[in-house]
Amino acid sequence: MKGDHPSLLASILLISSLLLSTFMHDARAEVITLTETTFSDKVKEKDTAWFVKFCVPWCKHCKNLGSLWEELGKTMEGEDEIEVGEVDCGTNKPLCSKVKIGSYPSFKVFYNGEEVARYRGTRDVELMRTFVLEETEKAAAAAVDSQLEDDKDL
């Protein structure tokens, strides 16, 4: 019976570490990393807003954000038509040039593939959440209006 104790302890430790790694992975699952190869397809998703953070690893202002972006992603989890993404401009320079990123961090909202807003306010989860909800509502309304105009032309 004494020989079974170490294997039981090892099993418990293994299960605990697997559960911990699962929870740690899920904590960041709300923020989607976008790259040059995935960015266009993702932000073009129909009727979906993307709130994207553009940063570089060496930027002190980006580092000072701490877990703010992950907290925002977690806060936005229940919003079906809003995704939170991030782009590392250090490894995706052509993409960041294409979307005209001139300073770090930069925060932009895209809707149906088009940039609709840039966030320049206080770096606060609730303020950023309110901003992206309002901008998404405006963009969705504009898309509906545009569709109605197109339908009238038929």
Instruction: Give percent of the chain with pLDDT exceeding 70.
Output: 77
Q: How far apart are CA 129 and CA 102, in angstroms?
A: 23
**8-12, 48-52, 104-108, 127-131: which has the minimum mean pLDDT?**
8-12
Q: How far apart are CA 147 and CA 105, in angstroms?
A: 34
Torsion of CA 134, 139, 140, 141, to 10 degrees: 90
Residues that are catalytic: 59, 62
Q: How far apart are CA 9 and CA 61, in angstroms?
A: 44
Distance of CA 140 to the CA centre of its chain: 19
Helix (H, G, I), strand (E, B) or coil at 29: coil
**2-11, 13-22, 61-70, 100-109: which has the minimum mean pLDDT?**
13-22
Helix%, strand%, coil% for the chain, nearest 5: 50, 20, 30
